[in-house]
Chains A and B, each alone.
Chain A
């Protein structure tokens, strides 16, 4: 590559990454400054909110800029733009929920680490490079360990932090191993180039290598999204950590993990078309993961009485629904014009999921009973009449989670199932229909445990007094989540349009006019790394 072009590309990349740089710089500055300044947590929180808002403005300012698909490590395509927008907005919501959480003397570190997580999530949304993607994912994970450890120094919290730390490190190892094999498939680390090359290669030279890559990357990311068989940490960690962090863990790693799956796996592997053996194997693997995750998450959630554990299993179940979208995305070949794309439904579902799960956790954060946190389902008895507004918000979020129209969660499920019906492997659409049937049966099971909470809130008499706490920021965040769940349920248009655009951007890997490609038909993939139309 010509250094001049490369330099311009780097410059352009830095420009579109300004929002991340702002957030990251603020995070580093807050971390460094925290031992030097004794400010109350409100001040630190306000600085964090300011940084996120500044990044939001910067993001809007750079919205028109594009980078070269095959040269840049980060893309500001529709997925990158809307993804970062969602991360920033949900970051503001989480910040509002967390504003009262840390002690004054650790508030600087707490909010600094929080900003770093946001920066990492934003990096993943834009990532177009294996290493860059990994850096983004780690930038999400590492501050998370800190947050888990910082918040409260009890033995449960420490156990939780240690558990999460070791398992997360392990999954990062798996992921990195998989990414290395993904690199080996075609010998480039640029994801768009990887997709294009594998399209032009007659078949992926070493399907076994490709399979290793798929298995390990999927395994590493399954941990992030809490999908079976890497789900088991979720209930313990959610229960043992402060509610705010449970909310963060249920949303940020999940959103990031699924976008990473789309960016690094489905968009790359699926270009071979549904007839390729590797694609078929990938579909099979994610089919099994999806079915197992849904069934396990929903079944075990039925048995829970602790609210956080229940929401943890519900988070696992929702990872299962999202995995349906991943399965479909694997099978969506390079030809465009699908009625519903798999990744489109993933993106829509993620937005809906963010609203409803953050809203549900937010209500739990915003309530106290008898001098302690609200913990079990029974603590909410009679809430519908003692605290009507929080109860209404929680009811909306729970009904949205169970997919009742006209709420956002319904459209999420609708898109997921519609994409499953629109998909097929060749002429065989049986597995997808079966998966969709398993999905709806699970949704019906899932409705039971959400409904149980609603019943407890509205149909049981109150047992103890429950008082609100957290002040206006928590109330504002919860209100925003609940009302957006309703509004997006009635008018899902903007999100539908955005997720469609993002899906088209994610699967787009061809240059405007495709020149002739010379592919060496040698056994070695690592030598055929030329991208002819980029090299002069």
Chain B
């Protein structure tokens, strides 16, 4: 079974093998001296205090999720902003076979459609923000 995926599988295999062999080697070959200090959890060199399993406030997660939403939104918006007006060359002549869009940007026919789609997307996100705001996600009581 030789396919063009074979190198990838081989690569995976080798990567896992190297990682495993290193861990095993260090566990087998390395010196072990268990002292009290070495058994302590690592907390930047200070003596640890309190419980390691400290809880975060649940509101923190909500805010983190909302932040994540807008963070990822940027991931969509940035390529769009670059591609929206940068076309000009008809896509079909330069695009490789099989792909709809060439590397040169959004074809002229699609520009207004894509523009409004993105606006719609932003509106939905804004609605979600309004929803979260009204629900009191940002109030730290």
Q: Which residues of A contact B (CB under 8 A)?
A: 1-4, 6-7, 10-11, 28, 31-32, 34-36, 206, 208-209, 523-524, 526, 529-530, 535-536
Q: A3-B92, A32-B130, A32-B131 are in contact. Are A523 and B3 (CB under 8 A)?
A: yes
Q: Give the total of B residues in contact with A, Cβ under 8 Å.
A: 21
Among B97, B130, B134, which residue has its beta carbon within 8 angstroms of that of A530?
Answer: B97
Decide if A28 touches B100 in the complex (CB within 8 Å).
Answer: no
Decide if A1 touches B131 in the complex (CB within 8 Å).
Answer: no
Decide if B92 touches A2 in the complex (CB within 8 Å).
Answer: yes
Among A7, A11, A28, A535, which residue has its beta carbon within 8 angstroms of that of B97?
Answer: A535
Decide if B4 touches A523 in the complex (CB within 8 Å).
Answer: yes
Contacts of A32 in B (CB 8 A): 127-128, 130-131
- 6 closest Cβ pairs, A-B complex: A35-B134, A3-B107, A32-B127, A7-B109, A529-B98, A3-B109
Say whether chain A's binding surface is mostly helix, strand, loop, or mixed: loop
Contacts of B108 in A (CB 8 A): 3
Chain A's nearest CB lies how many Å from the CB of B2? 8
Q: Which residues of B contact A (CB under 8 A)?
A: 1, 3-4, 90-92, 97-98, 100, 107-110, 113, 124, 127-128, 130-131, 134-135
Contacts of B110 in A (CB 8 A): 3, 6-7, 10
Of all chain B residues, which has the CB nearest A35?
B134
Among B4, B91, B135, which residue has its beta carbon within 8 angstroms of that of A524?
Answer: B4
* A209 CA / B4 CA spacing, docked (Å): 12
Chain B's nearest CB lies how many Å from the CB of A199? 19
Decide if A1 touches B92 in the complex (CB within 8 Å).
Answer: yes
Chain B's nearest CB lies how many Å from the CB of A150? 13
* A524 CA / B113 CA spacing, docked (Å): 35
Decide if A3 touches B90 in the complex (CB within 8 Å).
Answer: yes
Contacts of B1 in A (CB 8 A): 208
Contacts of A530 in B (CB 8 A): 97-98
* A209 CA / B1 CA spacing, docked (Å): 11
Contacts of B131 in A (CB 8 A): 31-32, 34-35
Chain B's nearest CB lies how many Å from the CB of A116? 12
Chain A's nearest CB lies how many Å from the CB of B57? 20
* A34 CA / B130 CA spacing, docked (Å): 11
Contacts A/B (CB < 8 Å), 25 sampled: A1-B92, A1-B100, A3-B90, A3-B91, A3-B92, A3-B108, A3-B109, A6-B109, A7-B107, A7-B109, A7-B113, A28-B127, A31-B127, A31-B131, A32-B128, A32-B131, A35-B131, A35-B135, A36-B134, A209-B3, A523-B4, A524-B4, A530-B98, A535-B97, A536-B92
Contacts of A28 in B (CB 8 A): 124, 127
